[in-house]
Amino acid sequence: MFFIRFWGVRGSIPVPGPHTAQIGGNTSCIEVRAGSEILIFDAGTGLRNLGNALLRELPVVARMFFTHVHWDHIQGFPFFGPAFVKGNRFDLFGARKISATLAETLAGQMNFPNFPVSLNEMAAQMNFHDLREGEAVACGDAVISNTQLSHPGGIFAYRIDFGGHSIVIATDTEHYSCLDRKLVELAEGADILVYDSMYTPEEYEGRDDLSPRTGWGHSTYAEGIKVARAARARKLVLFHHDPDHDDAKVREIEARARRELPEAVAAFEGLTLQLG
């Protein structure tokens, strides 16, 4: 069994409501199952619904990988039900920052007066691990590798290899004037490439009569197509949708991408892609 499931697909801030109901309004959270291994990538508000589903599988043993610790990627963690259940165990991986470790950052958003329950009051066992760029982590028969991408404060992209198949998660990255060779190498031959497609090319360049989004740390579906082709990735998944893009806008972007790359798909909450 090897699959990827999307629980939160938005960037920046949750946007619930009738105009985002099809795609979903929760922020970034992705589940990957590799055999018996439960792998969780990022802890945006989508983590709450994933946690509620995992409560049916007690005891839960899982590994959580954080691309970075901007708020939309960690704000669901205090509402992760399995973290409050004794007997569950989580290994949490992320880059060590100069200012704070991953543990200190997650604890900080739960400190008074931000939240009524502290990290130390969560009953599950939690083991925190600092990751270095290029360091591989073995999880059963799966291997998770990483590389640094371009985003304010730094970010990891992850590759999951299992059973001869692979998934790459590359969110919150800003493209260069040329292809990011580190990302192309990480995504080489991947079955699935999940890529930050927050803006249209017109929005990114400021041709939509608003200010350009250059330097904001995000990319476009068009750049995702270039990376997918250069890396010979089989399927491109558009991810980290702009909170100002309603369902119709996301579908419009998906249609534009499919005109160039028919296998492209816009991620939505509940989308599940099976491999092998």
Q: Which tens digit of pLDDT belongs to each residue from 8-53?
A: 999 999 999 999 999 999 999 999 999 999 999 999 999 999 999 9
Averaged confidence pLDDT in the chain: 96
pLDDT value for 98: 60
Average pLDDT value for residue range 186-196:
98
Q: Are strands 272-275 and 235-239 parallel, antiparallel or unpaired?
A: unpaired
Sequence-ordered strand ranges (E) for 9-79: 29-34, 37-41, 61-65
Q: Of 112, 123, 44, which Cα lies nearest the Cα of 81?
A: 123
pLDDT value for 129: 95
pLDDT at residue 233 tops 80:
yes
pLDDT value for 238: 98
146 and 158 Cβ atoms separated by less than 8 Å = yes
Average pLDDT value for residue range 143-157:
95
pLDDT value for 210: 79
Cα dist from 192 to 32, 161, 227, 265, whole Å: 12, 11, 12, 11
Q: Sheet of 265-266: strands edge to edge? A: 137-139, 142-149, 155-162, 165-170, 192-196, 235-239, 265-266
pLDDT > 70: what percent of the chain?
A: 99
pLDDT at residue 96 tops 80:
no
What does the buried/exposed string (b/e) look like for 96-106 if buried means 16 or more CB atoms within 10 Å of the residue's CB? eeeeebbbebb
pLDDT confidence of 62, banded at 50, 70, 90? Answer: very high
pLDDT value for 202: 95
Give residue 39's identity as a one-letter amino acid code. L
pLDDT at residue 251 tops 90:
yes
Average pLDDT value for residue range 52-68:
97
pLDDT value for 190: 98
CA pair distance 184, 86, nearest whole angstrom: 41
pLDDT at residue 177 tops 90:
no
pLDDT at residue 57 tops 90:
yes
pLDDT value for 208: 79
Average pLDDT value for residue range 77-97:
95
Ranges 12-21, 76-85, 96-105, 234-243: which has the least confidence: 96-105
> What's domain 2-275's architecture?
4-Layer Sandwich (3.60)
pLDDT at residue 100 tops 90:
no
pLDDT at residue 211 tops 90:
no
Q: So where are the chain's domains? A: 2-275
pLDDT at residue 131 tops 90:
yes
Residue 217's SS3 state is: coil
pLDDT value for 176: 85
pLDDT value for 44: 98
pLDDT at residue 155 tops 70:
yes
